[in-house]
Structure 1
Amino acid sequence: MLVTSRSYAEYEAMFDLKELPDSVLDSCAGGASFTAEAAARGVDAIAVDPAYELEPAELVDTVRRSLPATSGIVDEHQGSFVWHWYGSPQRKDEYRIEAADRFLQDIEIAPERYIAAGLPELPFGDRRFELVLCSHLLFTWADKYDQEWHAAALRELIRVSNHEVRVFPLVMQGAGDPIPWLPELLESLEGVTSEIRKVPYEFQAGANEMLVVTRT
């Protein structure tokens, strides 16, 4: 199991966040520090991930072991990544280590913010959150999860959102291949509008767009 620890700064850039609404869901959040830092800003922030089923010591170990593992994926596909946002591999590692520390501290002191669950079924009522974020799951793993799974997962994210869902990135992991059935998937959604929007973040080459789905 890979439990990636992304920072609040990365979330701000990946999702082009200017300010946060009253309530936010991060699904599936992994070891990101976003929920901890959003909560510190007074936001009703909840993270959801299957990894939260792990016993505390096992979760700590998994998060720590995942830090070098994510660098291994980059090393395997060196030509598919760019460094202008991070500045250097060392700075990226610093972001991830700091995020892991913040996440592990927060889940210990506020475990109610971290719910063990995963798509395509979430344990929340309809329209529970003003904003729902999903990073590096949908589309990233389109070689593992098919179009039908993605449709169910995206509809579930929409169900628990009262306003907006943002998904990043819109390419597959590794080499960053595009998603051939993305237009068809978006056309199948009802009761929403969808937009593909540029963001001020790029790590995988060409992965600088997010999907924004808004309830109508």
Structure 2
Amino acid sequence: MARPADHEILLTSRPLDEYCGLFGLTRAALAAVDGPVLDCPGGAAGLTAEARALGCHVIAADPAYAAPLPAVTARALAGRDAMAGAMLAAPQLYPDPRHLRPERYLRSWDRARRLFAADTAAHPEDYVAAALPRLPFADRTFALTLSSYLLLAYPGLFGPRRQLAGLLELVRVTADGGEARIYPLHDGAGRRCPHLDELRRALGRHRVASEIRAFPRPGDGRTRRILVLTHAGAGNRRPPGSPSR
């Protein structure tokens, strides 16, 4: 995780394999998802390009896409530099270098950023300028919705009401039987959202089922937790690769 100021959202360049590690997915699971996938916010990630090679259609949504592509990639490069500084300043917040060497990790961001730039130029329709809590997609469009490092990671920008509105919007665009997965459940300093239980109760009042799903973090085996949201009463079908409850 990176630690920019509360008013500044880091534009990241995460590759597909990092997404899999964040959300408890595999490449095979993504390839088997029956329908489009939403990545919100998409940043300058390689997910859309890499997933396309697997036969998985990912739409990335991010307000950054309203800017010209060179400005987006420049901001992503600044985000990469901020991440490098954060890993050096607060190594305790990151995986042990024996499991994840910082220089190798940052090279994966460089590759993802290049993939993003090429794919945005080739497939601009898959990169939509949009921001939570209002997305320009029809109800129940996506078989799987992924949202990383936003709603709960920036409490200075997203207070409880905006967090709830954003979570409800992610569920609105997720299909019956699909899931919206949110990571992390903490801010940039590693502090868990103090009102997460209250948010989950509010979601329940809006007929949204929620679950905290835990799984081993790749590399060091430490536990990672994500928030998983579904339409209440929508049935038990779940995306391939979902760990058991």
TM-score for the superposition, normalised by structure 2: 0.81
Aligned equivalents of 1:207 and 1:177: distance in 2?
15
Q: Which residue in the other structure is 1:164 paired with?
A: 179
Match of 2:150 among 134, 137, 142: 137
Query: Is the partner of 2:216 in helix, strand or coil?
Result: coil
1:10 aligns with 2:3: no
Q: Deviations over 1:66-95 (max 9, x none)?
A: 211122223332332223685211121121
Query: Is the partner of 1:62 in helix, strand or coil?
Result: helix
Aligned equivalents of 1:196 and 1:84: distance in 2?
27
Aligned equivalents of 1:101 and 1:75: distance in 2?
24
Aligned equivalents of 1:144 and 1:202: distance in 2?
30
Match of 1:185 among 199, 203, 213: 199
Query: Is the partner of 2:73 in helix, strand or coil?
Result: helix
Unaligned stretches of 5+ in structure 2? 1-8, 234-245
Q: Which residue in the other structure is 2:39 paired with?
A: 26
Match of 1:176 among 168, 172, 190: 190
1:82 aligns with 2:82: no
Q: Which amino acid aligns with 1:208?
A: R
Aligned equivalents of 1:68 and 1:46: distance in 2?
26
- Contact 1:107–1:114 at 8 Å: present in 2 too? yes
Aligned equivalents of 1:135 and 1:61: distance in 2?
21
- Contact 2:139–2:174 at 8 Å: present in 1 too? yes
Aligned equivalents of 2:64 and 2:87: distance in 1?
22
Aligned equivalents of 2:23 and 2:98: distance in 1?
14
- Contact 1:133–1:165 at 8 Å: present in 2 too? yes
What aligned pairs does 1:85-164 form with structure 2 within 5 A after superposition? 87-162=100-175, 163-164=178-179
Unaligned stretches of 5+ in structure 1? none
Distance change in 2, residues 1:207/1:67 (3 Å): farther
Distance change in 2, residues 1:86/1:32 (3 Å): farther
Query: Is the partner of 2:85 in helix, strand or coil?
Result: helix
Aligned equivalents of 1:202 and 1:146: distance in 2?
31
Name the stretch that deviates more: 192-201 or 51-60.
Answer: 192-201
Aligned equivalents of 2:100 and 2:10: distance in 1?
24
Query: Is the partner of 2:95 in helix, strand or coil?
Result: coil
- Contact 1:142–1:172 at 8 Å: present in 2 too? yes
Q: Which residue in the other structure is 2:228 paired with?
A: 212
Q: Which amino acid aligns with 2:101?
A: S
Aligned equivalents of 1:16 and 1:154: distance in 2?
19
Once the two structures are TM-superposed, the CA of residue 3 in structure 1 deviates from its matched residue by 1.5
Q: Which amino acid aligns with 1:180?
A: P
In the alignment of these two chains, the number of paired residues is: 213
TM-score for the superposition, normalised by structure 1: 0.92
Percent identity of paired positions between Structure 1 and Structure 2: 36
Q: Which amino acid aligns with 1:41?
A: L
Aligned equivalents of 1:107 and 1:172: distance in 2?
29
Once the two structures are TM-superposed, the CA of residue 214 in structure 1 deviates from its matched residue by 1.6
Aligned equivalents of 1:128 and 1:138: distance in 2?
21
